Amino acid sequence: MSVARLPAGDFSHGLKRAKSDTKPVLGFSDEDKVGTIQPHDDALVITLRIRGYDVKRVMVDQGSVVEIMYHDLYKGLNLKLDDLAPYDSPLVSFEGRVVTLKGQIRLPVQAGAEVVEVDFIVVDVYLPYTAIVARPWLHTLGAISSILHQKVKYPSEGQVNEILGDQSMARQCLVAAIQHKPAIESSAHAGRDL
């Protein structure tokens, strides 16, 4: 992954600059909770600019080592199956099932003026998120995230920028996941794990 700087455009939805009169420090305090609903156990769901589009419902998962893009977003970005590179490593879902992978693609992800090239694994399974960004994105950006504070902080041009989480969207995603009824398995697959 590489980081490039672009001129700041109007990509500031959910972005907030830290005060310039304080020394830039990547960290969180109780002040960072202002504006959030506390207590909570919401996922950190943000909006990122991916391949030039503002993409909502992106979950930040600092515990994962792979970035995931769901097939619906892939189609929505007007990408074709020919754009995918093969990806051979297995991916296992929370239920312990092997997930069918469509392939891998490298796309630019922009946060403020910072652009990081991200290798997304494209999968065709249901989740209420459009994409998941993980440790590789955070590390390349030099960012830290806090689910409690609902923020991602990263350095940029001597300052600390913030990406704010959207708790309302995180809660909508949780409800959608709970209400989702998986497709009925065919009789050929009934009773066995995939």
- Domains of the chain (ranges; CATH) run 35-179 (2.40.70.10)
H/E segment holding residue 33:
none
Q: Is the pLDDT of residue 194 over 50?
A: no
In the predicted model, is pLDDT for residue 187 greater than 60? Answer: no
pLDDT single digits (tens) 24-48: 679 999 999 999 999 999 999 999 9
Closest of 21, 32, 59, 27 to residue 43, by C-alpha = 59
Q: Is the pLDDT of residue 110 over 60?
A: yes
Q: pLDDT (tens digit, 9 = 90+) per residue, 11-23?
A: 445 555 555 555 5
> In this structure, are residues 115 and 4 in contact, taking their beta carbons and an 8 Å threshold?
yes
Predicted local confidence at residue 24, as pLDDT: 67
User: What are the tokens at 124?
Assistant: 């065709």
Q: Which residues contact 119 (CB under 8 A, 6 or more apart)?
A: 1, 67, 104, 105, 106, 136
Largest CA distance in the chain: 65
